Structure formats: structure tokens, C-alpha cells
């Protein structure tokens, strides 16, 4: 069964309590917690109490990777992953999301696959490596991740697909989903305004359907495959500011999009419907980015 959760980054700068509250109000199946410098995000007692209060299970943990969480769980990437896995086990999360190592982390990069395979076997928690993107420096593409921003070449059992990162890399998420096959075990549900390598945009994390990525087609593909992982809404709602009614509307829109495109009884019109939805909402996307 496909579970549709909400990432806590979807409500930043709101705190963890508000993330659980909004996920419950929107009707999600659970949450993914991004470990940040906010101590509540890695305190299993706080997380457990919020999970029980709002009836929101923790589906996944995202290891600390954001700039402002550089020193959370220490600086050793293996220790960060180990502590994220320990937290996942304490709160009952089935998956930990991790990014590929940076190229300058040579020792970590050299042993990354072995570490992932070892720790997944030892803990029983799925470690899903997320696709990232190249950076453009002085007009040239730089690849800061080792061996690549696309983790499909890694000999690991599980991968996370992020549509916004695919957009920033200038590739179609549908191509990545096809390449990865059944190793695609986790999804960050969002959108981006490009599928072209020449178009460089910000890491937008748009509401799904408001960009150019084939989000609906990928979800339909996963449903046909019998995908039983989690779809985690990971949108950028900072433009909502203190307007939680607007933020909640975006969260519900993301949830309904996921439900609609994973419904197997819709026949063969999913791709057409998804394309029409993107076109109809392009003006909405422009307003979201502008605001």
C-alpha cells in the first residue's frame, strides 16, 4: 500500500509541533522528519509524544544535511547516518533518507556503498539514497557529489527520487524512475519548472503539478508497479509566511495530486491529465515563485 506523508520541511519556518498539526489537518498518512538544529527533530520523546497526540506515525527520517544542521550529530558522515538510523528505530520509522557524499569527503565517498549496505543489514531500516544535482560555477557545471549526483550507479538497494532535484539537474524524473526500476523505494513529492539541461533554476520544491516535471506520470508508473514505499510531500511553503490557511491549502493540493495519480482505476488517461494539469497551473506556479 502506498503511504502519502508530509515532510517537516514543507512547513518551514514552522516548528515540529506545527508540522505534525498541519499534516494531521491536511489528512496525510504520516510524516518524514528532517533532522535539523532544532533539538525537537531528534528527540525521540518529543517526536513520540507529537506522533501520539496527532495520530501521525513517523514514516521516515531525513539525515541532517541542511546548511544550518552541519554540526548536528557531529561532522562524521557515518556517525550522522548511524544516529539517524538509531532515531528511526526509536520512533518506528522504516526509512532513512541520505544524500550522496561530497567529492571532497574522499574517505566517506570511497566507503559509502559499503557503509550503506552494512548499516541497512544491521538495523533493518531502509537507507534510501537521494538524487541531487550539479552546480553551475562561472558558467560551467560542477559535480560536487561522488560518484555523481545520480545515485543510480551505486550498488545500493534503495533510492529516493526528488522531482525538484531532477529539474535542477535538467533531467526528467520519469527517465530516472525508468533507470532505477524497483530500487526506487521512496519519493519526495514536489515539482520543478524544468526538464532541460540548459535551464538552470533554483531548487524550487513547487507543489506537484505546478511545474514541468512529469510527476503524475511517475506516480502512475509506481502505482502500476505495485510500489509500497512512501510518497513524502516536500514542498517549499515559505512564501505563505504566517498564513497557515494558505499553507494548508498547498499541502492538501499536494496530497490530492498524489491520491489522484496513484488511483489505478483512472484508466490510461493519467499522462494526459497530468500534462493538462501542469499547463493549467503554470500561472499558479509563476505566482508561487514570485511570492
Mean pLDDT of 45-62: 98
Residues 6+ apart with CB under 8 A from 249: none
Closest of 162, 91, 165, 82 to residue 127, by C-alpha: 82
d(Cα 93, Cα 8) in Å, to the nearest integer? Answer: 14
Residue 291 above 60 pLDDT?
Answer: no
At residue 60, φ and ψ (nearest 5 deg) are -160, 160
* Greater model confidence, 188 or 277: 188
Coil, helix or strand at residue 33:
strand
d(Cα 112, Cα 64) in Å, to the nearest integer? Answer: 16
- Strand ranges for 3-148 from DSSP E: 3-7, 30-34, 58-62, 95-98, 126-130, 135-137, 140-142
Write down the pLDDT at residue 68.
Answer: 76
**pTM exceeds 0.85:** yes
d(Cα 17, Cα 109) in Å, to the nearest integer? Answer: 35
pLDDT in tens, 9-53: 999 999 999 999 999 999 999 999 999 999 999 999 999 999 999
| Residues 213/170, Cβ–Cβ less than 8 Å | no
Residue 284 above 60 pLDDT?
Answer: no
pLDDT in tens, 203-237: 999 999 999 999 999 999 999 999 999 999 999 99
| Residues 240/251, Cβ–Cβ less than 8 Å | no
Write down the pLDDT at residue 275.
Answer: 44
Write down the pLDDT at residue 67.
Answer: 75
pLDDT in tens, 230-260: 999 999 999 999 999 999 999 999 999 999 9
Give just the sign of the alpha carbon dihedral 93, 79, 114, 155.
positive
How many other CB atoms are found less than 10 A from the CB of residue 247?
22
Amino acid at each position: 500500500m502506498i503511504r502519502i506523508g508530509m515532510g517537516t520541511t514543507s512547513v518551514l519556518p514552522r516548528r515540529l509541533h506545527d508540522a505534525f498539526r498541519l499534516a494531521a489537518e491536511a489528512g496525510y498518512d504520516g510524516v518524514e522528519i528532517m533532522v535539523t538544529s532544532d533539538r525537537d527533530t531528534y528527540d525521540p520523546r518529543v517526536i513520540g509524544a507529537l506522533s501520539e497526540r496527532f495520530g501521525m506515525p513517523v514514516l521516515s527520517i531525513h539525515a541532517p544535511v541542511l546548511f544550518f544542521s552541519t554540526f548536528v550529530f557531529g561532522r562524521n558522515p557515518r556517525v550522522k547516518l548511524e544516529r539517524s538510523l538509531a532515531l528511526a528505530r526509536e520512533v518506528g520509522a522504516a526509512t532513512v533518507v541520505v544524500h550522496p557524499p561530497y567529492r571532497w569527503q574522499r574517505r566517506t565517498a570511497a566507503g559509502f556503498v559499503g557503509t550503506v549496505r552494512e548499516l541497512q543489514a544491521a538495523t533493518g531500516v531502509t537507507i534510501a539514497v537521494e538524487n541531487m544535482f550539479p552546480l553551475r560555477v562561472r558558467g560551467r557545471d560542477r559535480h560536487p557529489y561522488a560518484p555523481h549526483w545520480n545515485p543510480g550507479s551505486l550498488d545500493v538497494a534503495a533510492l529516493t527520487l526528488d522531482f525538484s532535484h531532477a529539474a535542477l539537474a535538467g533531467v526528467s524524473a520519469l527517465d530516472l524512475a525508468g533507470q532505477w526500476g524497483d530500487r526506487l523505494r521512496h519519493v519526495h513529492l514536489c515539482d520543478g519548472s524544468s526538464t532541460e539541461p540548459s535551464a538552470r533554476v533554483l531548487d524550487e520544491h513547487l507543489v506537484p503539478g505546478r511545474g514541468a516535471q512529469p510527476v503524475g506520470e511517475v506516480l502512475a508508473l509506481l502505482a502500476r508497479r505495485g510500489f509500497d514505499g512512501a510518497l513524502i510531500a516536500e514542498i517549499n511553503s515559505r512564501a505563505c509566511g504566517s498564513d497557515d490557511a494558505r499553507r494548508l491549502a498547498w499541502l492538501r493540493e499536494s496530497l490530492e495530486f498524489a491520491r489522484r495519480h496513484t488511483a489505478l482505476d483512472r484508466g490510461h488517461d493519467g499522462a494526459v491529465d497530468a500534462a493538462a494539469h501542469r499547463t493549467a497551473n503554470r500561472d499558479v506556479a509563476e505566482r508561487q515563485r514570485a511570492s
